[in-house]
Amino acid sequence: MCHLKNIFHYINIELKGGVFFVVVTKPSPLPLLSLPIFPLAVLDFEIDRKMLGVARRKLGFGLFSATRVLPAGSVLPRKYSTAAKEITVREALNSALDEEMSADPKVFLMGEEVGEYQGAYKISKGLLEKYGPDRVLDTPITEAGFTGIGVGAAYYGLRPVVEFMTFNFSMQAIDHIINSAAKSNYMSAGQISVPIVFRGPNGAAAGVGAQHSQCYAAWYAHVPGLKVLSPYSSEDARGLLKAAIRDPDPVVFLENELLYGESFPVSAEVLDSSFCLPIGKAKIEREGKHVTITAFSKMVGYALQAAEILSKEGIDAEVINLRSIRPLDRATINASVRKTNRLVTVEEGFPQHGVGAEICMSVMEESFEYLDAPVERIAGADVPMPYAANLERMAVPQVDDIVRATKRACYRSVPMAAAA
Amino acid sequence: MAAATAAAARRVSCSLLRRDHGHLLPLLRPFASSAGGQPQLTVETSVPFTGHKIDPPSRSVDTNPSELLSIFREMSLMRRMEIAADSLYKSKLIRGFCHLYDGQEAVAIGLEAAITKKDAIITAYRDHCIYLARGGSLVESFAELMGRRAGCSKGKGGSMHFYKKESGFFGGHGIVGAQVPLGCGLAFAQRYLKEGTVTFALYGDGAANQGQLFEALNISALWDLPVILVCENNHYGMGTAEWRAAKSPAYYKRGDYVPGLKVDGMDVLAVKQACKFAKEYALQNGPIILEMDTYRYHGHSMSDPGSTYRTRDEITGVRQERDPIERVRKLIVSYELATASELKDIEKEVRKEVDEAIAQAKESPMPDPSELFTNVYVKGFGVEAFGADRKEVKAVLP
């Protein structure tokens, strides 16, 4: 019952302009986050005591403590829902595509094997049967050609979703993504907008070697005119993909193959067809007070695992799930660093000129005086991805790496007890 | 047959023999073929069409006096605009790239004569005249070239990035060959939305070798997209002659399984006939290639004198034998639709119009500094964008 009181202390419902907003506040210097609830969505306020403190995820980093306060940044009222439904990221993406295609007849999907094969990773399963071959299009293996066709269709006013089997193949079409899509609205002074989504798995899979393992977050986030999103959980996948498809600008949507099969609990609100997450807003997955860890995509899971390990040693880490690489949520990151005074950035991609470099610079520019330690960064090794399992393990960040770097940022390389 | 049409033309011409040519103005309705009881003229194209896997259309093209006069005026306007742009570039009012179209006017005009504003056109960077043909204004054109606020892209695009979406002109692209898949995408959308319209994707002989062209053509043929690929073969890809760049410079045949037509691109009526034919074909059957045999008098761009890789004799030869405006002038005079001096008056008028447009464009100011940050996104979510010194210059993107 005490949790109920806490909840009402945190949650306000505001009516602004005819739309209900759920506003989560906390008496601490954290940014206000609010989520618009469309009038048709139903908020389930019943508290199931079994649900409190249960946010067990199949990733296996253990139960959250039942008395832990759920992070204020997590506006999603997971604690409100009666039953904890779990869906995989794959199901989340599939349902998001399905709903957006159903809602807007201009949305169509094209890519290799998206139709009859049901999707190379089964993300588009069932869509061909439901929407027909005019809206779910199998393309030949010609990225430059079909990406250009997708962008041209977007010029005319359709809303294509172009799938790359992996983003490594997007390099064959990168001229269309950058020069034909990203820059058109600017060059035409607003005449030609490009409401297109480029999506597909990004980053390392398992054992697929150098040409199939690169992370393109830094490459695409470099370009003005693009928006770059990278989901972690099922809620992220659903909300961000829906936002991307509805967005009038070109969006690069970086998924992760190894996350497709992961299950995450989702609330009724997330499952509603009007659910949408804002672009450009990060999520604080885990509140903490000693150090901030930023991550996106698969690395969020690793960061959360690291945070669990660190909490046993007395280091309380705040984990930020970036969600949006461009625009980067500098406000959330800086507010967090101003609170914790220490920062570790985590990414899977190559380190030089990476996402972490930008985050570090942003924090230095805006919150220099608040830093008590140099910023640490964890990234993939600065080598093409090797195949041998032991080398591959060294080429991708592991939980241990994040733990070690965080301890360095906290000036601790041995457990607290020993330092006394 | 010829006597009958000549007699009909003379009957028309009686009313045109008056000195003041103000009466010509009502006749200068663009492309009103067989409108309101006008006599039809039938003109033979300079050479027959050559087909690849298709029966070519007839050499006899229907037209009428007002269409021909309108064509003459439009082509003169385009020619004058490009020559004026040359001077503006040399006086440093136009910067960067400037690719001029003079010599190729017949393609732009003939194409426009065959289609509607609901059909779409997309081209590469030699786009000033296509923009004009699609309904763009001279002032917007010159202002854009000079980087002024009144430009069609508000000064932010430049010579290579003219657009007029509401009349189906999708640019204006700087990357050689990229416009072809984009054009196929436009056609995809037209078919998806069941609009009954087509897209003409223009490219040069240099771009004809691009891989993405064949990728897009393959998909277009598979999906029956109503796209017409138009190769404006001016025989030089920048400084490289076609025989040095293409093993097979028969560009109308390069579609292999896609039919093609070779057209004299300096004969505006041949271009019109071919485009009309191609539009009907594409709506029924999917893609078709048109190769326009044309020529550019200027070099590749303003930084190219155009004489290091071709002879001056060749250029003057084409100007004397095949100039598109001269061909129409001869046609008009021989059919006695107007006298030579009346046509000269039209040219003087056109020159004046261009000069006035330039003067007006020059008065337009440069874009406001705040325009640096506009149109990056349609929806910016209030995110910050930074200038070179981010502590000094930044903006919130609306």
Instruction: Give the DSSP letter string of A268-333.
Output: HHHHSTT----TT--EEEE--SSEEEEE-THHHHHHHHHHHHHHHTT--EEEEE--EEETT-HHHH
| Residue B371 Cα, gap to closest chain A Cα (Å) | 9
Is residue A319 over pLDDT 60?
A: yes
Give the integer Cα–Cα distance in Å for B342 and A283: 73
| Residues from chain A contacting residue B174 (CB–CB below 8 Å) | 179
pLDDT of residue A30: 42
Q: Do B175 and A249 touch (CB under 8 A)?
A: no
- Taking a contact as any Cβ pair under 8 Å apart, which residues of chain A between 240 and 279 contact chain B? 247-249, 278-279
Residue range B350-393, pLDDT digits in tens: 999 999 999 999 999 999 999 999 999 999 989 999 999 999 99
Mean pLDDT of A317-324: 98
Inform me whether the C-beta atom of residue B17 falls under 8 Å from chain A C-beta atoms: no
Catalytic site includes residue A9: no
Tell me the torsion sign for CA atoms B108, B215, A124, A182. Answer: negative
| Residue B37 Cα, gap to closest chain A Cα (Å) | 37
Q: Do A149 and B184 touch (CB under 8 A)?
A: yes
| Residue A76 Cα, gap to closest chain B Cα (Å) | 21
Is residue A377 over pLDDT 60?
A: yes
| Residues from chain B contacting residue A153 (CB–CB below 8 Å) | 185-186, 188-189, 192
Q: Which residue does chain A place closest to B371, by CA atoms?
A: A189
Is residue A25 over pLDDT 80?
A: no
Of A153, A190, A192, the CB nearest to B189: A153
Q: Do B178 and A280 touch (CB under 8 A)?
A: no
Label residue A298 exposed, middle or buried (CB < 10 Å: 0-12, 13-18, 19+): buried
Mean pLDDT of B280-306: 97
Angle, helices B268-285 vs B105-114, to 10°: value is: 50
Between the ranges A56-65, B11-20, B117-126, where is the mean pLDDT highest? Answer: B117-126
* CATH architecture entry for A86-271: 3-Layer(aba) Sandwich (3.40)
Is residue B198 over pLDDT 70?
A: yes
Inform me whether the C-beta atom of residue B281 falls under 8 Å from chain A C-beta atoms: no
Tell me the torsion sign for CA atoms B152, B157, B160, B165. Answer: negative
Of B157, B189, B376, the CB nearest to A156: B189
pLDDT tier at A417 (50, 70, 90 boundaries)?
low
| Residue A119 Cα, gap to closest chain B Cα (Å) | 19
Of B178, B190, B374, the CB nearest to A156: B190
* Residues A194, A176 contacting (CB under 8 angstroms): no
The H or E element containing residue B71 is helix B65-90
Q: Which of A212, A222, A308, A366 is catalytic?
A: A212
pLDDT of residue A415: 55
pLDDT of residue A82: 52
Q: Which two tokens stand for residue B325?
A: 């405006």
Inform me whether the C-beta atom of residue A193 falls under 8 Å from chain B C-beta atoms: yes
Residue B72 vs residues A3, A75, A298, B264: alpha-carbon distances, Å: 82, 67, 65, 17
DSSP A180: I
Label residue A418 exposed, middle or buried (CB < 10 Å: 0-12, 13-18, 19+): exposed
| Residues from chain A contacting residue B385 (CB–CB below 8 Å) | 224
| Residues from chain A contacting residue B384 (CB–CB below 8 Å) | 330
pLDDT of residue A374: 95
CATH (one of 2.60.40.60, 3.40.50.920, 3.90.1170.50, 3.40.50.720) for A283-413: 3.40.50.920
pLDDT of residue A84: 72
Pairing status of strand A107-111 against strand A136-138: parallel
Among A32-36, A358-362, B229-233, name the one with the lowest average pLDDT: A32-36
- Which residue, among A109, A143, A156, A194, would best test binding to B if mutated, counting the most B CBs under 10 Å from its CB? A156
pLDDT of residue A190: 97
| Residues from chain B contacting residue A365 (CB–CB below 8 Å) | 390-391
Q: Which amino acid is at B283?
A: L
Q: Do B182 and A185 touch (CB under 8 A)?
A: no
Domain extent listing, chain A: 4-71, 86-271, 283-413
- Chain centre to alpha carbon of residue A297: 5
- Which residue, among A169, A188, A246, A247, would best test binding to B if mutated, counting the most B CBs under 10 Å from its CB? A188
Give the integer Cα–Cα distance in Å for A76 and A266: 9
Mean pLDDT of A220-236: 98
Count of other CB atoms within 10 angstroms of residue A299? 32
Is residue A77 over pLDDT 90?
A: no
Inform me whether the C-beta atom of residue A330 falls under 8 Å from chain B C-beta atoms: yes
Mean pLDDT of B2-21: 44
Question: By C-alpha distance, which of A182, A286, A163 is closest to A228?
Answer: A182
Q: Which amino acid is at A108?
A: F
DSSP A368: G
Give the integer Cα–Cα distance in Å for A262 and A87: 8
Is residue A6 over pLDDT 80?
A: no
Inform me whether the C-beta atom of residue B375 falls under 8 Å from chain A C-beta atoms: yes
Q: Which amino acid is at A48?
A: D
Mean pLDDT of A80-100: 88
| Residues from chain B contacting residue A187 (CB–CB below 8 Å) | 153, 156-157, 161, 171-172
| Residues from chain A contacting residue B220 (CB–CB below 8 Å) | 149
Inform me whether the C-beta atom of residue A151 falls under 8 Å from chain B C-beta atoms: yes
Inform me whether the C-beta atom of residue B120 falls under 8 Å from chain A C-beta atoms: yes
Among A60-64, A74-78, A351-355, B264-268, name the one with the lowest average pLDDT: A60-64
Inform me whether the C-beta atom of residue B157 falls under 8 Å from chain A C-beta atoms: yes
Q: Do B381 and A327 touch (CB under 8 A)?
A: yes
Q: Which residue does chain B place closest to A153, by CA atoms?
A: B185
Cβ-Cβ pairs closer than 8 A, A with B, add up to 159
- Taking a contact as any Cβ pair under 8 Å apart, which residues of chain A between 38 and 67 contact chain B? none
Is residue B82 over pLDDT 50?
A: yes
Residue range B87-106, pLDDT digits in tens: 999 999 999 999 999 999 99
Inform me whether the C-beta atom of residue A142 falls under 8 Å from chain B C-beta atoms: yes
Mean pLDDT of A252-276: 97
Is residue A51 over pLDDT 50?
A: no
Question: By C-alpha distance, which of A240, A236, A244 is closest to A265?
Answer: A236
pLDDT tier at B20 (50, 70, 90 boundaries)?
very low
pLDDT of residue B398: 85
- Cβ-count burial A334-362 (b if 16+ within 10 Å, e if not): bbbbbbbbbbbbbbbbbbeebbbbbbbeb
Q: Which residue does chain B place closest to A188, by CA atoms?
A: B153
Inform me whether the C-beta atom of residue B378 falls under 8 Å from chain A C-beta atoms: yes
The maximal CA–CA distance of chain B, rounded, in angstroms, is 79
Question: By C-alpha distance, which of A87, A127, A81 is closest to A108?
Answer: A127
Catalytic site includes residue A212: yes
Q: Which of A143, A318, A347, A358 is catalytic?
A: A143
Is residue A185 over pLDDT 50?
A: yes
Q: Do B186 and A187 touch (CB under 8 A)?
A: no
Mean pLDDT of chain B: 92
* Residues A250, A177 contacting (CB under 8 angstroms): yes
| Residues from chain B contacting residue A156 (CB–CB below 8 Å) | 120, 170, 185-186, 189-190, 193
* Residues B290, B279 contacting (CB under 8 angstroms): no
| Residues from chain A contacting residue B187 (CB–CB below 8 Å) | 152
